[in-house]
Amino acid sequence: MDYLNVGTYDGKIMSALYAPARVEQPKQAPGIVLIQEIFGINDAMQKLATIWSEKGFNVLCPDLFFRQQPGLTLDPRKPEEFEKGVQLMQGMELDPTLSDLESTRAHLATLLGHENIGAIGYCLGGRLVIQMGAQNKIKAAVSYYGVGLEKVLPQVPAMAAPSLLHLAELDDYTPAPVIEAIAKNVDSRDGWAYYTYPDCDHAFARPEGAQYNAEAATLAQTRSHEFLNALLG
């Protein structure tokens, strides 16, 4: 893995972690924009970048907090750092952030020489990946326990990228009525799917996290891999 410089729409430079696909000819493999939680490109995101690269994807994970505090990595187990992440999330502006994600996708497409690119997001990224997919530039989106999706999905057009959503049954951010609203919206869309994970809490797929559930995380990875392979080849 290494860090690359990505030029943004407004002439700034954003750092992004690059993990090439672990295959014989990596540039022929599909690409994934990996979208962070609220803690920057920390150990968990680095581990996830490795996991997806080992599954045969070229992974590029941008530092979406670079406009506020570049290079910051936070430990969610420390209350003061968790709160810092919340503050940074609240300080993000949606339009520039989506433009930064598109700059990341475009940079990856240029690097690989093809447009066979999807995106995966966790928590904050689980919402942003659906909003990114609404721009119809990526070919597939995978959302892990996205926050606020019940408000986002009604605004997502029918032509958005096909998406797979992973929802945790015990997640306080998505109580039963919210999951029901999300499920109803997803069921109305062609090529979309969702799964609910019983006895799992928010961030059940964060490596070494407090709510990590190895069985559910592995199952979600398998489902995501199958979904992405079907759409990205």
**List 63, 100, 171, 201, catalytic entry:** 171
Return the C-alpha torsion angle 93, 6, 233, 186, nearest 10.
0
Task: Identify the pLDDT of residue 190.
Answer: 95
Task: Identify the pLDDT of residue 209.
Answer: 87
pLDDT digits (tens, 9 = 90+) for 113-167: 999 999 999 999 999 999 999 999 999 999 999 999 999 999 999 999 999 999 9
Confidence of residue 24 (pLDDT cuts 50, 70, 90): confident
pLDDT digits (tens, 9 = 90+) for 77-109: 999 999 999 999 999 999 999 999 999 999 999
**List 63, 123, 166, 200, catalytic entry:** 123
Task: Identify the pLDDT of residue 149.
Answer: 96
> N- to C-terminal Cα distance for the chain?
23
pLDDT digits (tens, 9 = 90+) for 183-197: 999 999 999 999 999
Provide the residue ranges of all domains of the chain, joining segments of one domain with +.
Answer: 2-232
Torsion sign (Cα): 93, 183, 203, 144: negative
The CATH number of the domain covering residues in 2-232: 3.40.50.1820
Task: Identify the pLDDT of residue 6.
Answer: 98
- Report d(CA 219, CA 222) in Å as an integer: 5
Task: Identify the pLDDT of residue 208.
Answer: 86
Q: For 40, which DSSP code?
A: B
Q: Which residue has the tokens 């015990």?
A: 170
Active site residue 123: yes
- Residue 91, C-beta contacts closer than 8 angstroms, at least 6 positions apart: 68
Alpha-carbon distances of 44 from 27, 189, 208, rounded to whole Å: 25, 31, 8
Q: What is the DSSP track for 154-185? A: GGS-TTSPPEEEEEETT-TTS-HHHHHHHHHH
Taking alpha carbons only, the member of 161, 141, 145 closest to residue 217 is 145
The partner residues of 60 in beta bridges, in order of sequence, read 18, 33
**List 100, 200, 201, 202, catalytic entry:** 202
Question: What's this model's pTM, rounded to 2 decimal places?
Answer: 0.96
Give the burial class of 95: count Cβ atoms within 10 A of its Cβ; 0-12 exposed, 13-18 middle, 19 or more buried.
Answer: exposed
Mean pLDDT taken over the chain: 96
Taking alpha carbons only, the member of 233, 10, 223, 12 closest to residue 120 is 223
Active site residue 63: no
Active site residue 61: no
